[in-house]
Amino acid sequence: MSYPQNYRYTREHEWIALDGSIGTIGVTDYAQNSLGDIVYVDVPKVGDAVTANQTFGSVESVKAVSDLYSPVTGTVTATNDELKSSPDKINEAPHESWIIKVALANPAELEKLLDAAAYEAFIAEETGS
């Protein structure tokens, strides 16, 4: 799968797409594929603070529970309520199924994240392919 060029990526396999000062965050195709069938998503509430490189929630799959790490620092402005009843949407369309939206406190944090090419190279290193 090719990764959207306009997204930024973390080494923990989250993506962020920026729209003005709002970052939309989800998990990558690599992450959902590694997790298997996702059955539950735990997210913060609107208004909660998130911190770059810190956990903000978790995804539970038939294989394991995995923490979600925020790529940026900011305040949650929206959560994807559709995932409460259909968490498998992440498996079906990982790069379209967002988890939270965050008002960025420091847009410069995006510069520390991987672009699509660097993320694909990172995955190749991790998997040895």
Q: Which residues are 19's β-sheet partners? A: 22
Dihedral pair phi/psi, residue 59, rounded to 5°: -120, 135
Ordered by where they begin, the domains of the chain are 8-123 (2.40.50.100)
Tokens for 100? 């939270």
DSSP for the chain reads: -PPPTT-EE-TTSEEEEEETTEEEEEE-HHHHHHH-SEEEEE---TT-EE-TTSEEEEEEESS-EEEEE-SS-EEEEEE-THHHH-TTHHHH-TTT---EEEEES-GGGGGGSB-HHHHHHHHHHHHT-
Query: What's the confidence (pLDDT) of residue 126?
Result: 85
In this structure, the strands spanning 49-50 and 74-79 are antiparallel
Query: What's the confidence (pLDDT) of residue 1?
Result: 65
Residues belonging to the chain: 129
Q: What is the pLDDT along the chain (129 residues), one digit of tens a residue?
A: 689 999 999 999 999 999 999 999 999 999 999 999 999 999 999 999 999 999 999 999 998 999 999 999 999 999 999 999 999 999 999 999 999 999 999 999 999 999 999 999 999 998 887
Q: What is the pTM of this model?
A: 0.95
